[in-house]
Amino acid sequence: MRILFATGNENKIIEAQETLAPLGHTVEGLLIDGKRPDFNEPKELGLEAVAEAKILQALTLIEGTELQGSAILVEDSGIFLDAFPNWPGAKSSDVEKEIGLLGVIERVNKSEIRGAEFRAVAILSDGSKFWKSKGVCRGSISDEIKGQKGFGYDPIFIPSEGDGRTFGELGAEVKNQISHRKKAMQGLSNLLKSPSR
Ligand code: IMP
C-alpha cells in the first residue's frame, strides 16, 4: 500500500519507512501544495486525542484533491516519565524546547525515579475506514546526554531491551527493532492484513 504520512518530522517518516517497507508498503510524506501540513493539536487531551484530531484534519485537507482516497497516516508520540504523571507526554516537543534534555535529566535526578517510556499512537485512514495502533517502549533516563543519533529524547533514553546504551548511541538499526513507533507501525500493518479489514 502507498501510505502518505502527515507529519513535519522527517525522522518519523524514515522510521516508519524502515518498518513498513519490508512489510510491503511505501511511505512518503504528505505534501499539500508542496508543504508539510500543520495541525491544531489538543495536547492537553493526550496522544490519542491528538492523533484523532490530526487524521480528521489531514482528511479534510485532501478532500476534493487528487489525493482523496489515499491512505493517510498520522502518529502522535511522546515520552512519559514515571516520576511525573503524564509528563511530558503529548507536550514532549514543547518541554524539550523549553527546558532542554539537561533540564529533563535534572528533574529526573531530583525525583530519583529514572523509569520512563515512549508511547506512540498511529492512525491510518483512506477516508472511510480507520485503523489505530499503539506502541510502547520501556526504558530509563540516563544521567547524561549520550550519543548523537536519532532525534528528540533519544540521547537520554536507555531502552530496557537494549544493552545499557541510549537510543542516541544505539542508532536506527537497534531503535527500529524495539521502538514505540516500530510497534505501532507493525500493529497497523497486522491490522491491514487481518481478514476483518
Ligand atoms: P509529535 O510530533 O507531536 O508527535 O511530538 C513528538 C515529540 O515526542 C518529539 O518532538 C520528541 O520530543 C518526542 N519523541 C517522540 N518519539 C520520539 C523518539 O522516537 N525519539 C525521541 N523523541 C521522541
Q: Is 76 in the pocket of ligand 1 (CB under 6 A)?
A: yes
To test the pocket of ligand 1, the residue of 97, 104, 151 to mutate (highest count of ligand atoms within 8 Å of its CB) is: 151
pLDDT of residue 134: 98
Q: Which of 33, 76, 143, 163 is catalytic?
A: 76
Which residues in the chain land under pLDDT 50? 197
Q: Is 76 a catalytic residue?
A: yes
pLDDT of residue 111: 98
Instruction: Please give the domain boundaries of the chain with CATH numbers for all domains.
Output: 2-193 (3.90.950.10)
pLDDT of residue 197: 45
**102: β partners:** none
**Mean pLDDT, all residues of the chain:** 95
Residue nearest to atom 9 of ligand 1 (CA): 93
How far is the centre of ligand 1, averaged over its atoms, from the C-alpha of 76 (Å)? Answer: 8
CA distance 78 to 180: 9
